[in-house]
């Protein structure tokens, strides 16, 4: 059993359920927030700091556990305006899994919260605020390279997304956190996206310890078509994959600006997958649906 599994068992829905029973006060307006993971709080609290100042938070260690908590709580007793659950969309809709919908459940529009930090607006802010570079003409060229590379990246990663959907649709468990995209792709010092031409399926099976089901080519093509039919790439690309592209691209900018512009940034902020939400999350604009969700709860922010 790995560390994540141990944490899930130790701090699973039963544990959090008991904590809520202990901490919930009926004569108080204190809010109780249930998040899937530790980084979620850094993302969401940026958008409702006043609300969060009078709150208790719980980490469910996964969407499944958050839904179990929702089903376990007696909503004839507890106020839905005070116990708020935040979950990621992931592949639940595509796989037609049952996900509860209620006034106190916020489900991301995109695959996960990480997808919201990957765009040209955010990259521009990182260049301005972390690298302290402000030459607009150069920045616009960088953003163009970013967008062009992203299209190539998404095209290259589609077979991986199709493989994940096949695994999920067969109810197989694969630890996707073991997938290191740096083994498959890279971005060079000229900011061009490069595909390493590694055997993707072989790599995925090895690092996730999962065997690909025997399927016909038509099944694989069907998942490919489902991916292509999505109205946005962010509905289907795993958030941590999405943020890998932004972070890898950004971390090449120091060298690029040094080589092309003779600019040497004195800032050495280390942006990586582990701290991306903490550093980049506060720089995002509140998602429209999240804004509407908060207003529907009639919370005075």
**pLDDT tens across 203-242, in order?**
999 999 999 999 888 999 999 999 999 999 999 999 999 9
Q: What mean pLDDT is predicted for residues 118-131?
A: 97
Which phi and psi angles does 112 have, rounded to 5°?
-155, 180
Kindly report the pTM of this predicted structure: 0.92
Q: Using 50, 70 and 90 to split pLDDT, how confident is the model at 6?
A: very low
Which of the pair, 167 or 300, is modelled with greater confidence? 167
Q: In what order do the strands lie in the sheet with 55-59?
A: 55-59, 31-35, 83-87, 105-107
Strands 193-195 and 185-187: antiparallel
Averaged confidence pLDDT in the chain? 92
In the block, tokens 């809010």 appear at 31
Give 193's strand partners.
187
Q: Is the pLDDT score of 300 beyond 90?
A: no
Q: In a 10 Å sphere around its CB, with 0-12 CB exposed, 13-18 middle and 19+ buried, how is residue 190 labelled?
A: exposed
d(CA 191, CA 248): 10
Q: What is the pLDDT of residue 298?
A: 66
Least confident of 124-128, 283-287, 296-300: 296-300
**pLDDT tens across 34-87, in order?**
999 999 998 999 888 777 778 999 999 999 999 999 999 999 999 999 999 999
List, as one string, the DSSP characters of 246-292. HHHHHTTHHHHHHHHH-----------TTTHHHHHGGGSPPPHHHHH
- Is the distance from CB of 139 to CB of 133 less than 8 angstroms? yes
Least confident of 4-8, 121-125, 176-180, 257-261: 4-8
% of the chain residues with pLDDT over 70: 95
Q: What is the pLDDT of residue 156?
A: 96
Q: Is the pLDDT score of 100 beyond 60?
A: yes
Q: What mean pLDDT is predicted for residues 259-266?
A: 92
d(CA 25, CA 27): 6
If phi > 0 it is left, if psi is from -120 to 50 it is alpha, else beta; for residue 132 that is left
Q: Is the pLDDT score of 301 beyond 90?
A: no
Q: What is the pLDDT of residue 51?
A: 74
Q: Is the pLDDT score of 5 beyond 60?
A: no
What is the per-residue burial (b if ≥16 Cβ within 10 Å, else e) of 107-122?
bbebbbbbbbbbbbeb
Q: Which residues have a Cβ under 8 Å from the Cβ of 269 and sit 6 or more positions away?
A: 130, 279
% of the chain residues with pLDDT over 90: 84
Q: What is the pLDDT of residue 10?
A: 52
Closest CA to 239 of 92, 112, 99: 112
């Amino acid at each position: 059993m790995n560390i994540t599994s141990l944490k899930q068992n130790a701090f699973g829905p039963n544990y959090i359920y008991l904590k809520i029973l202990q901490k919930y006060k009926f004569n108080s307006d204190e809010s109780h927030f249930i998040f899937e993971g530790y980084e979620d709080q850094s993302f969401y609290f940026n958008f409702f700091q006043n609300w969060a100042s009078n709150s208790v938070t719980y980490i469910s260690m996964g969407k499944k556990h958050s839904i179990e908590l929702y089903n376990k709580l007696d909503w004839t007793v507890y106020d839905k305006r005070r116990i708020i659950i935040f979950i990621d969309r992931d592949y639940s809709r595509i796989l037609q899994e049952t996900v509860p919908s209620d006034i106190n459940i916020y489900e991301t529009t995109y695959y996960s919260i990480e997808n919201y930090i990957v765009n040209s607006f955010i990259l521009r802010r990182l260049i301005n605020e972390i690298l302290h570079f402000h030459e607009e003409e150069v920045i616009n060229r960088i953003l163009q390279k970013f967008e062009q590379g992203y299209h190539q990246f998404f095209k290259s990663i589609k077979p991986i997304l199709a493989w994940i959907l096949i695994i999920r649709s067969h109810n197989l468990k694969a630890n996707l956190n073991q997938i290191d995209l740096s083994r498959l792709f890279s971005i060079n010092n000229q900011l061009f996206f490069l595909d390493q031409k590694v055997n993707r399926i072989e790599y995925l099976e090895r690092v996730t310890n999962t065997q690909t089901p025997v399927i016909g080519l038509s099944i694989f093509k069907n998942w490919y078509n489902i991916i292509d039919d999505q109205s946005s790439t962010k509905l289907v690309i795993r958030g941590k994959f999405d943020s890998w592209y932004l972070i890898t691209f950004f971390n090449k900018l120091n060298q690029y600006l040094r080589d092309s512009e003779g600019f040497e940034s004195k800032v050495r902020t280390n942006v990586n997958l582990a701290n991306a939400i903490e550093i980049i999350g506060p720089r995002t604009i509140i998602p429209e649906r999240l804004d509407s969700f908060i207003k529907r709860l009639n919370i005075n922010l």
